[in-house]
Amino acid sequence: MYGYGTLTKEIIEELISATGKNAVIADNNEALENYAYDQAGRIWGENMPDVVVKPKDTEQVSAVMKIASKYRIPVTPRGAGSGLNGGAVPLAGGIVLSLERMNHILEIDRINRVAVVEPGVITNDLCRAAAAEGFLYAGYPMSTETSFIGGNFATNAGGGKVVRYGNTRRHILGAEVVLPSGEVLNLGGRFRKDSWGYSLLNLLIGSEGTLAIATKLTVNLEPKPGKIVNLLACYPDIEKLVESVSKVIGSGRRIISCEFMDRNLVKYTTEYLGCTLPEQERSEGYLLIQVEEDTEEQLEDSYEIVGNICLEAGAFEVFVAESRTDSAAMWNVRQNGLEGMRARDPYACASGDLMVPLSEVPEMLRRIKRISREWNVEIGIISHIGDGNLHPIPLKPEGMTPERWGVYAEEFFAVLINEAISLGGVGSGEHGVGYIKRKVLAESKKPAELEIMNGIKKSFDPLNILNPGKMFFPLP
């Protein structure tokens, strides 16, 4: 199939010999099925692997890749499976290489302000370990409780703190990676700048497991934040809300996060969580703003300035969290937005995150609303609005079959992505391409750019065995 070799019992025995019997799943459809789809669920279908291999270290990953290369067996690297675009789905069967056992925080280096971790570390575990040593790991997405740091590396994940700290690329200083041939490379290190040839490290960040497999990561640690307060601004209409954003970001205050939630998302998520937000009956949207300063006096001054900006732009109320409990309640709705929408409709999908310049956010929101009406799709929207990253979450129209919805939703997202591109944006700010968006990605690139990227893929993976069918690369 697809020009690949057949995964025989003899090859499976080689994999067992390389990694141990308990590290290999074969001939167990129930267990294999858990690796056939990602967090998007079965909306996009499922593809069964022939075998799942769970190596414990770099040496075993290298051994697996040498076997796969020898017999030309496709390999799909997999982290937590928390992606939303099919990036970890084994389209060509073969081997799913799960990094779940490589889950150790190897070192917190206080002198160099770095952590050294394996790719299967849950992002929030790294955040907690860094905090215990007086540091902040800032390069994490909203799925911090479930995602692996290796998956963040693969997709160049972002999150609520990008507006202050940047996305994952800014925080990866070094990586040990295994090539499709099984060869091991060490890239970067415990330093923060270099001018020493092409940066293969930066090339691999965001390559979605199509070029190499990260087995060890050296990540940047920031000083622990100072005093923080959360504000919740309630707006009667979205236009007034969006008007606030650039003024808040440009206020000169230390804004860590600026997040947006629309009426639908808040309604369904609070129903799911069994809570309410202030002014919920008359709010069309909310801004959740996090501000940091060094002292209580500075913090009070800053949140008064930011609150007044929101009120002057049209917010009818701004609430300041007075305790950790208040802050947690605000963020709980934001962090559970997708789960809330899926409680309303299990077929709700969120693969289509969009990125536009901040100046184009108002127009992009208008276009999302218009296109949703034209397609008869109810949506909720969450957004890292401070950096122009929008997440429309559509619900399946009543009466439409799940099979039809899988196609319809993909077509719907393609229209939205093309609108974002027309406004100077791109089709993903952090979720990546996977296979859901590969067609629209290819259509958006010039032939010369595609040719260069194809050349890069062939240099790293001449047999096309690593995560085939992803990004813009078709199955052979």
Which tens digit of pLDDT belongs to each residue from 10-25?
A: 999 999 999 999 999 9
Tell me the pLDDT of the chain averaged across its residues: 93
Q: What integer pLDDT is reported at residue 248 of this predicted model?
A: 95
Alpha-carbon radius of gyration of the chain = 23
Domains of the chain plus CATH, in order, are 9-101 (3.30.43.10), 105-223 (3.30.465.10), 227-335 (3.30.70.2190), 345-432 (3.30.70.2740)
State the Cα–Cα distance between residues 329 and 322, nearest whole angstrom: 11
User: Are 229 and 254 in contact, with CB atoms under 8 Å apart?
Assistant: no
Those residues with Cβ within 8 angstroms of residue 311's Cβ, 6 or more apart along the chain or in another chain: 318
- SS3 call for 149: helix
Residues of the chain with pLDDT under 50: none
State the Cα–Cα distance between residues 204 and 226, nearest whole angstrom: 33
Reading the block at residue 382, the tokens are: 């969450």
DSSP single-letter state for residue 424? T
Q: What integer pLDDT is reported at residue 212 of this predicted model?
A: 98
Convert the pLDDT of each residue in 284-323 to its tens digit.
999 999 999 999 999 999 999 999 999 999 999 999 998 8
Reading the block at residue 240, the tokens are: 């007034």
Those residues with Cβ within 8 angstroms of residue 257's Cβ, 6 or more apart along the chain or in another chain: 160, 161, 163, 164, 288, 289, 290, 384, 386
State the Cα–Cα distance between residues 220 and 138, nearest whole angstrom: 8
- The CB-based long-range contact list for 235-240 (8 Å cut-off, 24+ gap) reads 235/283, 235/284, 235/285, 235/286, 235/287, 235/314, 235/315, 235/316, 236/282, 236/283, 236/284, 236/314, 236/316, 237/284, 237/285, 237/314, 238/262, 238/284, 238/285, 238/365, 239/362, 240/313, 240/314, 240/315
